[in-house]
Amino acid sequence: MDAILRNFSGGSVETRERDRGGKPSREQVEAAVRTLIAWTGDDPKREGLIDTPARVARAFEELYGGYFECPIEALSRTFEEVGGYDDIVLLRDIPFVSHCEHHMLPFTGTAHVAYYPEGRVVGLSKLARVVEIYARRLQTQENLTAQIATTIDEVLQPRGVALLLEAEHSCMSLRGVQKHGVSTVTTQFTGVFQNDPAEQERFLRLIRNR
């Protein structure tokens, strides 16, 4: 648990320290946006763009709000009254939007999360909340996958966690090779899902079956 507090606290102590230190002011952010607008060749003083820097600052607060939330806290409340249930718990088709840390362009997709409880369960919405918190940061899909799976595994300590993310990256569809409709799939397995191929296959079959 100490490891996860160090590595995944993002929205708590680490953020507060950054706020007291070198975090740019709102005025600096808006000035930077005006510079980018001018660099593109447009006039940041024209009517349609005059309020854009303030809008962009507010949008960034929302899009990257995951830096100010703690995924560990989202999983902190669990329930032991499960009537002896010890089979798989699966959430399919959790939508998410994140931003590529290389180009700051969005990638959009769905997450499928499963775990085998070990005597306690967590509220279903909390699993989706963990996905949301990590997605609202600058990411690679690989890192996003690992963070979600590791957090659920270390906080809940279940018998196993399975995670599959499928997303389309606009840094690939809007620029560069400009290939539309290409999906990237990443997976992470722990515990029984990692050790037993039959459990991996069951997880994948449950995702596919509708």
Strand partners, 168: 108
Token reading at 98 = 């994140």
| 99 annotated ligand binder | no
Amino acid 15: pLDDT: 45
| 171 annotated ligand binder | yes
Distances (CA, A) of 202 to 22, 136, 164, 172, 196: 48, 30, 13, 32, 10
Instruction: Confirm whether 30 is a catalytic residue.
Output: no
Instruction: Confirm whether 112 is a catalytic residue.
Output: no
Instruction: Confirm whether 103 is a catalytic residue.
Output: yes
Instruction: Confirm whether 178 is a catalytic residue.
Output: no
Q: Among residues 101, 118, 142, 201, which one is catalytic?
A: 101
Q: Among residues 100, 157, 166, 168, which one is catalytic?
A: 100
Instruction: Confirm whether 141 is a catalytic residue.
Output: yes
Q: Contact, 171 vs 100, CB < 8 A? A: yes
What CA–CA distance (Å, rounded) separates 166 from 145? 10
Per-residue pLDDT of the chain (210 residues; tens, 9 = 90+): 554 544 444 444 344 444 545 889 999 999 999 999 999 999 999 999 999 999 999 999 999 999 999 999 999 999 998 888 889 999 999 999 999 999 999 999 999 999 999 989 999 999 999 999 999 999 999 999 999 999 999 999 999 999 999 999 888 777 788 788 889 999 999 999 999 999 999 999 999 986
Instruction: Confirm whether 100 is a catalytic residue.
Output: yes
Strand partners, 169: 107
Q: Find tokens 């979600």 and name the residue.
A: 148
Q: Among residues 27, 28, 61, 102, which one is catalytic?
A: 102
